[in-house]
Structure 1
Amino acid sequence: MNAPATTELPVVVIGAGPAGLAAAAHLIHQGIEPLVLEAGPTAGAAVREWSHVRLFSTWGEVVDPAAEKLLAPTGWTRPVPATYPSGGDWAEQYLQPLADVLGDRVRTGATVTGVSRAGRDRIVDADREAQPFVVHVTHADGREERVFARAVIDASGTWATPSPAGGSGLAALGEKAAADRITYRVPDLKDPAVRARYAGKRTAVIGSGASAFTALAYLADLAKSDDGAETKGVWILRRGISGSTFGGGEADQLPARGALGLAAKAAVDEGYADAVTGFRTEAIARADDGSLVLVGEDGRRLDAVDEVIVLTGFRPDLSFLEELRLGLDERLQAPVELAPLIDPNQHSCGTVYPHGHRELSHPEQGIYLVGMKSYGRAPTFLAMTGYEQVRSVAAAIAGDLESADRVELALPETGVCGGAGLFDALESDQSGGGCCAPAPQLVQLRTPAAVGAADEEAPAGGCCGS
């Protein structure tokens, strides 16, 4: 089959989540036809899987301007800008109406399994840039097709590929065998079946970001309820406790994000969770009674737990892009120009500035990773960042470089500064262990004033995943 002229082709957008649907809206604004391919059964399928979790961004920060222009003529009513939606609210009140407006430009149940240049595999140079992209799609009914595109915007996110419990980045020994007692999502404790799973149980939470904060706060609320007596959280951190551990608190320019860290701190302070620091999981062993025992890289074994919640971040699925020439940072798997801005080894307050097509470009012209996918393994992505990315990318595809290069967004700061590499070094020095990680220890915080003092002195890494 001969490919049509590139200029006659649509731009394929992979993923009908917040960034993907916003990309479609911006492409339409530029006079370019989008085709959005969504693997799930509905628009916003990944967001719906955490529908019970409330965002720390307000409605005013999670509605894209170009999308709102498409929605306005339909009679759509914008939610109150200063209020906070849940994932379910976001999907039902914004993402689904936007997908409905886009109509047959959005195809659900369509999984992208490969992207290449028409007639050119990864190694062929000849006439490569003149060829359109070819996107291999597998539909829910098993049917396969190939779609030609003038450009490809990958907004497929990272939700489907959570990172494992193992401190080395590999699954811990026994992790897969213990899958019936492990989840990689914040549990919905309003669901009676899920609530029964955790009520009165001892649950390990592995991770140090916003998701871990949320899980700890949920477990603390359960412990305070009539049916949750004896519920206990065990918070597993790979580093020590410092002033940054609980995020920016009141200094965070997104107040709800700061409140998450304060809620996690309260869970520990009030005794609903214990914090185990300096612990990198090597194995998960099953005891005779079916409970799980976490074993550290140094051989230490923690007291048994009934359940494990692994919230150690996400990583991008790059398998379907292997025939393209991507320029990715070797650590983060993010575009090389973007990586220094978001690297948790270097990150500090004010260093993440709005970015667009130039930071997101690759040696293969016309392919862009946007949204959470663009951050690779880095944490702390905001919807408004994705919206600015796709605005710039759509303008660049349209040839409007003046608009594409213009910055139209100011990002809020987290209220914490520093980098993960720096924290490891400082904590090691303070522990008296030289270059080595501090020994695992159980910590119960009881004196808020002491933590406040640490906040003023210590650099912070609450913005980073565990």
Structure 2
Amino acid sequence: MNKNDLPIAIIGAGPVGLSAAAHALDRGMTPIIFEAGEVAGANLYQWGHVRMFSPWRFNIDKKAGELLERAGWIAPLSDAYPTGHELLTQYLQPLAELEPIKSRLHTKSRVIAVSRAAHDVMKNRDRAAAPFLLRVRGPAGEHDVLARAVIDASGTYTTPNWMGAHGIPALGEEEFKAQIAYGIPNVLGDARQRYANRRVLVIGGGHSAFNALQDLVKLKSSAPRTQVYWAVRSATLDRIFGGGENDQLEERGKLGLVIRQLMEERRIEVFTNVNVDRVSTSNDGLLVHTGATTLPAVDEIVVATGFRPDLRLMAELRLELDPATESPVRLAPMIDPNVHSCGTVRPHGAAELAHPDEGVFVVGMKSYGRAPTFLMLTGYEQVRSVVAWIAGDREAAERVELELPETGVCSTQFDRTSVQKSCCN
């Protein structure tokens, strides 16, 4: 058996995964796509109500768009800003329904492990010649699939970070999980009853937190007893608010300005220097403790503290990961928020995403590990380069084919006076 006659296995049928499939098809290779959910883009349903801060032109992959247009698809207006649901229904689902992709897409099929055939992580002999083996759990049970290469585009949305400041659950976090949500709940839609006229604490300092806060304030206009609290780890808020008018993604910059205004209007009560170590309950509600300080009692908590990759399925592969970001080591210096003060990341591809086990690539949001600032366009450039590398086209793999928008956020901006404790005190 010639390993190169095997398909390219793609884990995840989200936008980046299906983009990888489109590029593979364009180069005459055979993709096989595994999606754990019931449909392509299953994770998008969880944040379908959220409007993206990048316009359509940044959310449609070039090769995928060409494939769709040949089937009569009409692209949305390039400067409009889609919601997650619109991205799903107007782009991803039509792409998944195209016969070249549909015939190779396996839904309800979760990849639970990836290895080299007849090799565990310790074995050296003939390792590079061995195909990859994927253990897949599907409707008919578990089975193994061989592949020439593996592209993991499964994302991180199902593995959110804990609210606890230590990287593990805060004491009591799992005990009171019925009153804790992760990500961006649809508080203006199917989750309205849960949050209306309730005291809600949002924990986190990124765009997910911004969206949750913005929606909760909107909810308050029709449910006036709703109280909105916001807790962040930082001592200062200026960096959190982002680049504002300097951000080349206009809607991303606006979102930070909106939250700043809502805070200044005292429609959000904010607490800084919050490192959550414990959650408890009282007769008045849930209490969040940070050191010797206890925040006001609340009814619900929304944890928007980012995400982390689930790397367990690749435990038998030789990966080279940065210990802090859990991203590929050559990508890490470009995205690590500890050393990378600007949210802008230069385009990158196969060279930065490579691992000692050649032919396995983690792409999309999962490639960023625990680091923020991922843009869909970044994932599309990643898979263009990765698929070129798999095809043996090293020149195309090394070529950069896009420019990413600047965030307008750099460390020299953040010298304003910190907002201490609650802005309403």
Q: Does residue 68 of structure 2 align to residue 71 of structure 1? A: yes
Structure 2: where are the runs of 5+ without partners? Answer: none
Q: 2:230: which partner in 1?
A: 235
* Counterpart code for 2:125: A
* 8 Å contact from structure 1 (residues 223, 272) kept in 2: no
* 8 Å contact from structure 1 (residues 346, 418) kept in 2: no
Matches within 5 A, 1:47-196: 47-101=44-98, 102-139=101-138, 141=139, 143-191=141-189, 193-196=190-193
Q: 1:215: which partner in 2?
A: 212
Q: How far apart, in 1, do the equivalents of 2:315 and 2:84 lie?
A: 32
Q: How far apart, in 1, do the equivalents of 2:243 and 2:410 lie?
A: 9
* 8 Å contact from structure 1 (residues 392, 405) kept in 2: yes
* 8 Å contact from structure 1 (residues 216, 267) kept in 2: no
Q: How far apart, in 2, do the equivalents of 1:398 and 1:286 lie?
A: 57
Q: How far did residue 382 of structure 1 move?
A: 0.2
* Counterpart code for 1:263: V
How many residues align? The count is: 423
Q: Per the alignment, in what secondary structure is the counterpart of residue 191 of structure 2?
A: helix
Q: 2:421: which partner in 1?
A: 441
Query: In structure 1, which of residues 285, 295, 300 is the aligned counterpart of residue 289 of structure 2?
Result: 295
Q: How far apart, in 2, do the equivalents of 1:350 and 1:322 lie?
A: 30
Q: 1:247: which partner in 2?
A: 242
* Counterpart code for 2:155: G
Q: How far apart, in 1, do the equivalents of 2:377 and 2:424 lie?
A: 36
Q: Does residue 316 of structure 2 align to residue 323 of structure 1? A: yes
Q: Give percent identity, aligned residues only.
A: 48
Q: How far did residue 344 of structure 1 move?
A: 0.3
Q: Per the alignment, in what secondary structure is the counterpart of residue 442 of structure 1?
A: coil
Q: How far apart, in 2, do the equivalents of 1:241 and 1:330 lie?
A: 27
Matches within 5 A, 1:257-276: 257-276=252-271
Q: How far apart, in 1, do the equivalents of 2:344 and 2:141 lie?
A: 46
Q: How far did residue 418 of structure 1 move?
A: 2.5
Q: How far apart, in 2, do the equivalents of 1:165 and 1:142 lie?
A: 37
* Counterpart code for 2:289: V
Q: Per the alignment, in what secondary structure is the counterpart of residue 233 of structure 1?
A: strand
Q: 1:306: which partner in 2?
A: 299
* 8 Å contact from structure 2 (residues 6, 148) kept in 1: yes
Aligned residues: CA RMSD: 1.7
Alpha-carbon deviations, 1:84-120, whole Å to 9, x = none? 1100000111111111111111110000000000000
* Counterpart code for 1:128: R
Matches within 5 A, 1:293-372: 293-296=287-290, 298-349=291-342, 352-372=345-365
* 8 Å contact from structure 2 (residues 350, 386) kept in 1: yes
Q: 2:40: which partner in 1?
A: 43
Alpha-carbon deviations, 1:347-392, whole Å to 9, x = none? 1338621000000000110000000010000001000000000000
* 8 Å contact from structure 1 (residues 153, 369) kept in 2: yes
How does the TM-score come out when normalised to structure 2?
0.96
Q: Per the alignment, in what secondary structure is the counterpart of residue 212 of structure 1?
A: helix
Q: Does residue 27 of structure 2 align to residue 30 of structure 1? A: yes
* 8 Å contact from structure 1 (residues 360, 369) kept in 2: yes
* Counterpart code for 1:442: S
Q: 1:456: which partner in 2?
A: none
* 8 Å contact from structure 1 (residues 325, 364) kept in 2: yes
Alpha-carbon deviations, 1:47-95, whole Å to 9, x = none? 1211100111111110000001111121111001000110000011111
